[in-house]
Amino acid sequence: DAGVTQSPTHLIKTRGQQVTLRCSPKSGHDTVSWYQQALGQGPQFIFQYYEEEERQRGNFPDRFSGHQFPNYSSELNVNALLLGDSALYLCASGAGVTEAFFGQGTRLTVV
Amino acid sequence: AQSVTQLDSQVPVFEEAPVELRCNYSSSVSVYLFWYVQYPNQGLQLLLKYLSGSTLVESINGFEAEFNKSQTSFHLRKPSVHISDTAEYFCAVIYTGGGNKLTFGTGTQLKVEL
Nearest residue to A78 via CA among A94, A89, A69: A89
**What's the average model confidence in pLDDT over B24-34?**
87
Nearest CA in chain B to A10: B41
pLDDT at residue A107 is higher than 90: yes
The C-alpha of B94 sits at a distance from chain A's nearest C-alpha, in angstroms, of: 8
Indicate if the pLDDT at residue A85 is higher than 90: yes
Q: Is B41 left (phi over 0), alpha (psi -120 to 50) or beta?
A: left
A36-50: string of b/e by CB count within 10 Å (b at 16+)? Answer: bbeeeebbbbbbbbb
CB-nearest to A42 from B94, B101, B107 is B107
CA B12 – CA B24 distance, rounded (Å): 20
Average the pLDDT over B16-22 and give the result.
Answer: 98
pLDDT of A99 above 90:
no
pLDDT tens for each residue of A5-26 = 999 999 999 999 999 999 999 9
CB contact under 8 A, B44 and A45: no
CB contacts < 8 A, A to B, total 63
Q: What is the maximum span of chain B, computed from C-alpha positions, in angstroms?
A: 45
pLDDT over 70 (residue B70): yes
Largest CA distance in chain A: 38
The long-range contacts involving A51-55, CB below 8 angstroms and separated by at least 24 positions, are: A55/A31, A55/B99
Contact check, Cβ <8 Å, A98/B107? no
Q: Are strands A106-110 and A10-13 parallel, antiparallel or unpaired?
A: parallel
By CA distance, what is A87's nearest residue in B? B41
Task: Give dist(CA A79, CA A81) in Å, integer.
Answer: 6
What does the pLDDT look like over B43-61, one tens digit per residue? 899 999 999 889 999 998 8
- Give the pLDDT of residue A33: 96
Q: What value does the mean pLDDT take over residues B79-88?
A: 96
Q: How far is B45 from chain A (nearest CA, A)?
A: 7
H or E segment at B108?
strand B108-113
Partners of residue A53 on adjacent β-strands? A50
B42 — pLDDT class (breaks 50, 70, 90) = confident
* B46 interface with A at CB cutoff 8 Å: yes
**Which of B42, B43, B104 minimises the CB distance to A42?**
B104
Whole-number pLDDT of residue A1: 67
Confidence of residue B2 (pLDDT cuts 50, 70, 90): confident
pLDDT band at residue B29 under the 50/70/90 scheme:
confident
Higher pLDDT, B97 or B17: B17
Q: Residue A73 class from Cβ within 10 Å (0-12 exposed, 13-18 middle, 19+ buried)?
A: middle
Q: What is the pLDDT of residues A19-77, one digit of tens each?
A: 999 999 999 899 999 999 999 899 999 999 999 999 999 999 999 999 999 999 999 99
Contact of B109 with chain A, judged by CB distance below 8 Å, is answered with no
